[in-house]
Amino acid sequence: MELTTIAKRNSFFRGFKVKFWKSKYLLLMILPAIVFYIIFNYVPMYGILMAFKNYKPKLGIIGSPWNGVDNFTKVFRKPEFWQAFQNTVIIGSIKIVLSFVAAVTVALLLNELRMRRSKKVIQTIVTFPHFLSWVVVSGFIFSLFSYNGAVNSIIASFGGDRSNFLKDVGFNFGLIFASDIWKEAGWGSIIYLATMAGIPQDQYEAADIDGATRLQKIWHITLPGIKATAILLLIMSVGGVLSAGFDQILNIANPLVREDVNIIDTYIYYHAIKGTDGAGVGTAIGLFKSVIGFTLVIIVDRIAKLCGERGII
């Protein structure tokens, strides 16, 4: 019995060595990615200890005294944190829906273009905003909608009264969603376009023979063809619902409406990093975010599988 077990174990290791040697170049190609994730994602995980410690920079993470769940208790008792949490859920949820619809719509419109040169030009135009920094985008927004900006100047030239758009909370929420769509819709459509390119053309040819219109082909062929990819991306995006766009909110939200559009990440920045709460509280909030995001991914993945779709776990 022991000889049989040893023989099976030797056979397994021998087969593993053979497969490893055959795939050595592929493994070598993914080695930089593995090293990257180990250094920047796994090694820093020990910093989670700060969530349960009274962190002192002089003592370091290991040397700082433990304080249990005091950091969590401290932040959960603050009403402004729950206001930021509510804003994050609302902004993150709406962004997921709008980004999903916008990316699919842009991909469908680009896919229906028949002129290849025009298609490439338009795709470049709608993808370009993704590469702009939110600092640059916020500069455009302030130049357009400030009291002395371009929009108010046009209104005044027609005899209207200038308005302080950036003081209005509702207008700022609209700016957050509109600027996110403008900046990311083109970039998000790339994956859907690649998926559409993989749909067999004979399905469209058969639909043409049957006299199907463009809308019918989109509804019965294109959308079902990208459904699996859309669900996969949707599941992945749900995990980041509590990351509602730190750099965007930080740059767009002016001091007049900052507290009203505050999200968890900006709360950490103003209260834990720039404020007096400390790094321990910031780490506790980050851990709270990670747990919620992980839980949401698991739930949505299970729902997708119960509905007969393919999950990611």
Res 235 pLDDT > 70 = yes
Where are the chain's structural domains?
69-306
Q: What is the mean pLDDT of the chain?
A: 85
Terminal Cα-to-Cα distance of the chain (whole angstroms) = 37
**SS3 state at 277:** coil
Q: What is the 3-state secondary structure (H, E, C) of 156-223?
A: HHCCCCCCCHHHCHHHHHHHHHHHHHHHHHHHHHHHHHHHHHCCCHHHHHHHHHCCCCHHHHHHHHHH
Dihedral sign from CA coordinates of 192, 198, 201, 202: negative
Res 311 pLDDT > 70 = no
Q: Report yes or no on whether pTM surpasses 0.75.
A: yes
Residues 115-141: tens digit of each pLDDT? 778 888 888 999 999 999 999 999 898
Residues 92-118: tens digit of each pLDDT? 899 999 999 999 999 999 988 887 788
- Residue 116: the pLDDT is 78
Res 7 pLDDT > 60 = no
Question: In angstroms, rounded to a whole number, what is the distance separating the alpha carbons of residues 132 and 126?
Answer: 12
CATH class of 69-306: mainly alpha
Res 4 pLDDT > 70 = no
Please, which residues bridge with residue 66 across strands?
Answer: 53
Question: In angstroms, rounded to a whole number, what is the distance separating the alpha carbons of residues 256 and 38?
Answer: 42
Residue for token pair 């135009």: 125
Question: In angstroms, rounded to a whole number, what is the distance separating the alpha carbons of residues 84 and 106?
Answer: 32
* 61: confidence class by pLDDT, cuts 50, 70, 90: confident
